[in-house]
Amino acid sequence: MNAFLLFKQENNNSEITIGTVEHRATEIDFFGTFPFKEIFTEDLANAQIYRGSYPKIFLQKIAEKSFDAKVIKAEIGISNITSHLTFESKDNYPCIKGFDIEKYGLKESVRYLKGDIAKPFLENYKHEKIIAQEIIAHIQNPTPHIEITAFLDDGKRLFNDTCAEIIPLTDNLNQKFLLAYLQSKFCNWYCYNLIYNRAIRTMHFIDYYVSQIPIPEISPEAQAPFIKLVDEILRLKKQGEATTELENKIDEMVYDLYELTDAEKDIVKGKD
């Protein structure tokens, strides 16, 4: 477990020294001194602790090819309904928990929200939507990383507050493209290292963090190959077949969106 120590001078033009201290360690491990503006956002609301350890041209490339405004948001599901969930379908409505979600699909268990509790929410939840686990899985092996997990709901399900709906804020952003991008290795790498600052536990997929994710600014035509692959993944998932090869292809297509070099791909893959 690491604790981060930040040292800075009074004005925003100063440099900032960043270091870590391991649990029960007696010394601070300093790993760099960087200009203040390269670590903190302009509004000083967010600090990307590890930003200075990556090549500037690499990060600049990501920024230049991404929307410069907020284009997605997250909304948490219905709170305080756990005691009203049941596996009985009669007179009740499908409702999922974060535990039920896997990449591009759902596990076999089917939950329902009791009818009298569900009815006030039905109108607001019956549209097609991306639903993600609200708590992101942290995985240690083979190297520390996270896995954003989401699926595309057909509009029939409610969901509780262990889930979040990911909502595109522009008509030019297709939900199937967004579903593929959010679960790509690149997006997971960026979120883990530059948004969650390599946290160990309890990374919440809430709007504060989701709104910091860079979304590539591409045309509907450029999104079409992603949509085609997602359609194929969804078809195979329904048949219980493996989709790893198609998911890997999406990873490579995302790298191409950002025109990453082999060396930059190695950074994302954890090889460098």
CA separation, residue 146 to residues 121, 193, 242, 256, 267 (Å): 31, 10, 21, 22, 15
pTM (two decimals): 0.88
The residue-averaged pLDDT of 18-23 equals 68
DSSP string, 35-73: EHHHHB-TTS--B-TTGGGS-HHHHHHHHHTB-SS--EE
201 or 185: which leads in pLDDT: 185
Whether 34 has a pLDDT exceeding 70, the answer reads yes
Tokens, residue 242: 């493996």
For residue 131, name the pLDDT band (cuts at 50, 70, 90): very high
Q: What is the pLDDT of residues 56-86, one digit of tens each?
A: 999 999 999 999 999 999 999 999 999 999 9
Burial pattern 62-77, b for ≥16 Cβ within 10 A else e, equals beeebbeeebbebebb
- Sketch out the chain's domains with CATH numbers: 2-53 (no CATH), 72-269 (3.90.220)
Give φ, ψ of 85 to 5 degrees.
Answer: -85, 145
Quote the CA–CA distance of 36 and 20 in Å, as a whole number.
17
Give the HSE-up count for residue 271: Cα atoms under 13 Å, Cβ half-sphere.
6
Q: Are 157 and 189 in contact (CB under 8 A)?
A: no
